[in-house]
Amino acid sequence: MREAWAFSYFIPIIMLILFLYGTRRNKTHLATSIRILSVMAIVAIAANMMMFLTQDRFLTMVANSIFHTTLTWILYAMLSYTREYTNFTKYNKVHKAIFMIILFLDSANIMLNCIFEHSYTCYEITYGPKSGIYYVVDGLPFHIVHMVISYGMIVLVTFLLIKKITQAPTIYKSKYIAVLGILGFDLVCNSGYLLLDLPVDPSVTLYAVTAACIYYCSFTLSPKRLANRTINQVMTNMSEAALLYDIDGNCVFINEAAEKLMANLEKEGIIRTRDEMYIKWRGWVEEKGDTANANEELQLFQSINLKNAVLHLKITYQKLQDEKGRFQGSYFTVYDRTEEAQNLIKERYNATHDRLTGLYNKAYFCDVVHDYLKANPEETYLMICSDIANFKLINDVFDTETGDKLLCRIANILRRRLTGYGIYGRLEGDRFAVVVPKQGFVLETYLEGIQEFAYVDAPLPYQVDTYIGIYEIQDVSIPVSMMCDRALMALHTVKGSQKKYAFYDEVLRDQMIREKELSADLDGAIRREDVRIFLQPQVDMDGVAVGAEALVRWTHPSKGVIIPGDFIPYLEKSGLIAKVDRHVWELACRTLKKWKDQGKEQYYISVNISPVDFYYLDIYETFIELVKKYEISPTSIRLEITESAIMQNFNQQVGLISRLRNAGFIVEMDDFGSAYSSLNMLKDLYVDILKLDMAFLGQAKDMDRAREILSSIVDLAKRLKIPVVCEGVETVEQVNFLKGIGCETFQGYYFGRPMEVSSFEENFMK
């Protein structure tokens, strides 16, 4: 019997040793407390085993002392563990010291009992003839102290656990209840042993189970439950739809987002049951070969057409496998990427389309044309670019809204006329580009189309002049942007002229290159004074010079003398004319200063102001500075502004002219009669002098009628007290006629061609 019991004691000892070995890697405080508990349990079990194996009274007393001392420390370890386990923080070093002293005194009391037997004693009993002698322990009054300490600790442990059970969230309650239950069971067993006077304490064998249970509750049960709950909660609430199907395709889990999605799809008539969706997805998975293992994901992008919208979904599939790799279910998450997809579509649209008109932007137009030409090599196409004359002016005179409206109208016309026939886009600003097949292209129809937007949507009438350049695409390998450049190059040759279109050809290209070279040479030419002024005399009725007009001349090192007509229009397009004019005015002022110093202040010089100068220079400030710099009178410099420059921005020009006149400058209206010649304009515009161009006479079919008109203009000017200068006078007849109608100042080849300044000074100045 003794041997059988002894053997049974080995079982918890081995279990505890295995437990210690198995948990050796868990270095947390909690695990360490449980391990200490286990070591002491081994000692206690061993002591208990000795108590009934021996038949010697003293040895029984010693074993008993060891057993009880160890029990005390087990309870202490249990208390530490519970403190840790329940996160009880109101325990400091002083508490610990007091506890230790009490426990050491108690341990000493128990151990000394072997000698003094003051605390408890034991007496012999005999269980049956074959069982031999057993000693049963009996407590003396002193023993009560030990019991109070031991049970005190049990009460404390119980209190801590109960407190925690009442306060903890439901999910955690079970872990404390489990520990309390185990402890209670141990206590019951222990009480049984005490009350029944058994030779063996059965609670001892439970120690191993207790340690394992406590460990399980601490590290496995509760965290697992927590993890499961959390995962469940996260899955249920996550914004992505999640669906779990078993191997037969039955839906076993569906979260809220998935519920909503499925309900929507059912409502829209896309699916009738949820399993139907699974069949669709599963089909796709199988199509992809379902090579995925548990760690791999398969992704599917699906767009579903609903009644009023398109649903963009990203479906992720994960195959669920058991530890042996057997298929055990399918897990799908569905992410509604509709907003993302729409943003992407919008972004792509914005990156490829012009915001204002919604047409292709330049980069995308070039891409589309490139692909299109590549795909249709057998056909010949035309690249047509258009540009509005003085579009900037429309924005200035009216407002940008009017300009925008015009651009949108152009875009709509292109859409209406060219959809399905050509490719079109907006290059920039007021420039549009179109690619159409050469065959069937009728220039007249195209020009007619342009007439559709030849007006602005504004109270004031304004003629919108649009120019087009056409390039026949012969070499499809050149970049499309270069094709546009060629069409624009052609366009530039006619911009500002009566002709509204031009075809690109090689001659044109050479001419453009030459012009480009000129503008590249310009800075050096100005610096070297290759760009300088010639003076053409202006004379009075007696043929005596009163002043001169400064006319620019460019002496090019290789091209010789270039006349204004060959470079000014080009420089006006690029705005470079402002540089030339600024230089010409400087030279004129310098000459006037020289004359002033020579006492010849009575002669004046007229200078030309290009309409483009107004955009690049502050005309008023520039001339104020010049007269200041050269200390000349503003009356000695006359400013020739063309009628067309005034018309382009009438109100602003009227203001500027009046400021210039107030500052003392004499303002002339150049080429009066060559452009709009609105006599009405003279009512609001105060200029000092009108310059009439004789070219006006030369072109007329009915000479008498032309002369009548000229004479009326001069008459009108006289009545308005505006002196007239007649230029382009070539013959004595013209002189006589002009004198006859009351002209007093003349300029023309008849009196003198434009000449070097020195030549003018020599031949015309006194």
Interacting partner of 610 out of Mg ion, ligand C2E, none (Cβ under 5 to 8 A depending on kind): ligand C2E
Number of residues in contact with ligand C2E under rule CB under 6 A: 23
The distance of closest approach from Cβ of residue 670 to ligand C2E in the complex, given in angstroms and rounded to an integer, is 5
Residue 531 near ligand C2E by CB under 6 A: no
Sort 176 into a burial class: Cβ within 10 Å, 0-12 / 13-18 / 19+: buried
Q: Which two tokens stand for residue 55?
A: 């038949």
Residue 569 near ligand C2E by CB under 6 A: no
Interacting partner of 268 out of Mg ion, ligand C2E, none (Cβ under 5 to 8 A depending on kind): none
Residue 560 near ligand C2E by CB under 6 A: no
Interacting partner of 673 out of ligand C2E, Mg ion, none (Cβ under 5 to 8 A depending on kind): none
Q: Tell me how far apart the alpha carbons of residues 84 and 332 are, in angstroms, rounded to a whole number.
A: 41
Query: Which residues have a Cβ under 8 Å from the Cβ of 435 and sit 6 or more positions away?
Result: 369, 372, 373, 381, 382, 383, 384, 422, 423, 424, 473
Assess contact for 67 and 44: CB atoms under 8 A. Answer: yes
Written as one letter, the residue type at 392 is K
CA atoms within 13 A on the CB side of 393: 21
Assess contact for 233 and 256: CB atoms under 8 A. Answer: no
By beta-carbon proximity to ligand C2E, the closer residue of 103 and 647 is 647
Sort 41 into a burial class: Cβ within 10 Å, 0-12 / 13-18 / 19+: buried
Query: 466-473 and 381-388: which strand pairing?
Result: antiparallel
Interacting partner of 188 out of ligand C2E, Mg ion, none (Cβ under 5 to 8 A depending on kind): none
- The residue ranges that bind Mg ion (CB under 5 A) are 608, 640, 670-671
Angle at 253 between CA 248 and CA 257, to 5 degrees: 130
- Single out the segment in contact with ligand C2E by CB under 6 A; choices: 208-216, 345-353, 425-433, 558-566: 558-566
The distance of closest approach from Cβ of residue 563 to ligand C2E in the complex, given in angstroms and rounded to an integer, is 5
Q: Give, as one character, the DSSP assignment of residue 357.
A: T
Of 493, 247, 525, 486, residue with least CA distance to 383: 486
The distance of closest approach from Cβ of residue 587 to ligand C2E in the complex, given in angstroms and rounded to an integer, is 9
Q: Tell me how far apart the alpha carbons of residues 593 and 578 are, in angstroms, rounded to a whole number.
A: 22
Assess contact for 435 and 457: CB atoms under 8 A. Answer: no
Interacting partner of 584 out of ligand C2E, Mg ion, none (Cβ under 5 to 8 A depending on kind): ligand C2E
Q: Tell me how far apart the alpha carbons of residues 171 and 229 are, in angstroms, rounded to a whole number.
A: 8
Which stretches of 239-337 are DSSP H helices?
A: 256-267, 274-287
Q: Tell me how far apart the alpha carbons of residues 87 and 84 are, in angstroms, rounded to a whole number.
A: 5
Residue 670 near ligand C2E by CB under 6 A: yes
Which stretches of 480-618 are DSSP H helices?
A: 480-494, 506-527, 564-574, 577-597, 613-616
Q: Residue from 60, 536, 538, 649 that binds ligand C2E (CB under 6 A)?
A: 536
Interacting partner of 435 out of ligand C2E, Mg ion, none (Cβ under 5 to 8 A depending on kind): none
DSSP-derived secondary structure for 11-28 = HHHHHHHHHHHHTTT--S
The distance of closest approach from Cβ of residue 727 to ligand C2E in the complex, given in angstroms and rounded to an integer, is 6
Helix, strand, coil percentages (3-state) for the chain, rounded to 5, are 55, 20, 25
Q: Tell me how far apart the alpha carbons of residues 763 and 537 are, in angstroms, rounded to a whole number.
A: 10
Q: Residue from 199, 329, 634, 754 that binds ligand C2E (CB under 6 A)?
A: 754
Q: Residue from 591, 724, 728, 764 that binds ligand C2E (CB under 6 A)?
A: 728
Residues 113-142: x/- map of binding to ligand C2E (CB under 6 A)?
------------------------------
Residue 643 near ligand C2E by CB under 6 A: no
Interacting partner of 551 out of ligand C2E, Mg ion, none (Cβ under 5 to 8 A depending on kind): ligand C2E
Interacting partner of 581 out of Mg ion, ligand C2E, none (Cβ under 5 to 8 A depending on kind): ligand C2E
The distance of closest approach from Cβ of residue 696 to ligand C2E in the complex, given in angstroms and rounded to an integer, is 11
The distance of closest approach from Cβ of residue 476 to ligand C2E in the complex, given in angstroms and rounded to an integer, is 42
Of 694, 692, 670, 663, residue with least CA distance to 606: 670
By beta-carbon proximity to ligand C2E, the closer residue of 120 and 750 is 750
Length of the chain as a residue count: 766
Residue 757 near ligand C2E by CB under 6 A: no
The distance of closest approach from Cβ of residue 378 to ligand C2E in the complex, given in angstroms and rounded to an integer, is 49
Of 147, 218, 143, 207, residue with least CA distance to 176: 218
By beta-carbon proximity to ligand C2E, the closer residue of 217 and 612 is 612
Q: Which residue has the tokens 């406590």?
A: 214
Q: Tell me how far apart the alpha carbons of residues 613 and 375 are, in angstroms, rounded to a whole number.
A: 47
Of 310, 311, 279, 285, residue with least CA distance to 297: 285
- CA 265 centroid distance within chain: 33
SS3 533: strand
By beta-carbon proximity to ligand C2E, the closer residue of 135 and 665 is 665
Assess contact for 697 and 731: CB atoms under 8 A. Answer: no
Written as one letter, the residue type at 122 is C
The distance of closest approach from Cβ of residue 690 to Mg ion in the complex, given in angstroms and rounded to an integer, is 11
Q: Residue from 730, 741, 744, 765 that binds ligand C2E (CB under 6 A)?
A: 730
Interacting partner of 568 out of ligand C2E, Mg ion, none (Cβ under 5 to 8 A depending on kind): ligand C2E
Q: Tell me how far apart the alpha carbons of residues 378 and 375 are, in angstroms, rounded to a whole number.
A: 9
Interacting partner of 688 out of ligand C2E, Mg ion, none (Cβ under 5 to 8 A depending on kind): none
By beta-carbon proximity to ligand C2E, the closer residue of 490 and 697 is 697
Q: Which residues lie across from 472 on neighbouring strands?
A: 382
Residues 576-615: x/- map of binding to ligand C2E (CB under 6 A)?
-x---x--x-----------------------x-x-----
Q: Residue from 234, 563, 679, 703 that binds ligand C2E (CB under 6 A)?
A: 563
Interacting partner of 565 out of ligand C2E, Mg ion, none (Cβ under 5 to 8 A depending on kind): ligand C2E
By beta-carbon proximity to ligand C2E, the closer residue of 127 and 749 is 749
Q: Which two tokens stand for residue 132?
A: 């031999």
Q: Which residues lie across from 241 on neighbouring strands?
A: 334
Q: Tell me how far apart the alpha carbons of residues 359 and 159 are, in angstroms, rounded to a whole number.
A: 79
The distance of closest approach from Cβ of residue 626 to ligand C2E in the complex, given in angstroms and rounded to an integer, is 14
Interacting partner of 485 out of Mg ion, ligand C2E, none (Cβ under 5 to 8 A depending on kind): none
By beta-carbon proximity to ligand C2E, the closer residue of 150 and 536 is 536
Residue 551 near ligand C2E by CB under 6 A: yes
Interacting partner of 38 out of ligand C2E, Mg ion, none (Cβ under 5 to 8 A depending on kind): none
Of 390, 535, 388, residue with least CA distance to 468: 388
CB neighbours of residue 182 within 10 Å: 18
Interacting residues with ligand C2E between 64 and 103 (CB under 6 A): none
Residue 749 near ligand C2E by CB under 6 A: yes
Q: Residue from 432, 671, 710, 760 that binds ligand C2E (CB under 6 A)?
A: 671
Largest CA distance in the chain: 172
By beta-carbon proximity to ligand C2E, the closer residue of 296 and 756 is 756
The distance of closest approach from Cβ of residue 571 to ligand C2E in the complex, given in angstroms and rounded to an integer, is 9
Q: Residue from 692, 729, 743, 755 that binds ligand C2E (CB under 6 A)?
A: 729
Residue 568 near ligand C2E by CB under 6 A: yes
CA atoms within 13 A on the CB side of 165: 14
Interacting partner of 496 out of Mg ion, ligand C2E, none (Cβ under 5 to 8 A depending on kind): none
By beta-carbon proximity to ligand C2E, the closer residue of 235 and 697 is 697
Query: Which residues contact ligand C2E (rule: CB under 6 A)?
Result: 536, 551-552, 563-565, 568, 577, 581, 584, 608, 610, 640, 670-671, 727-730, 747-749, 754
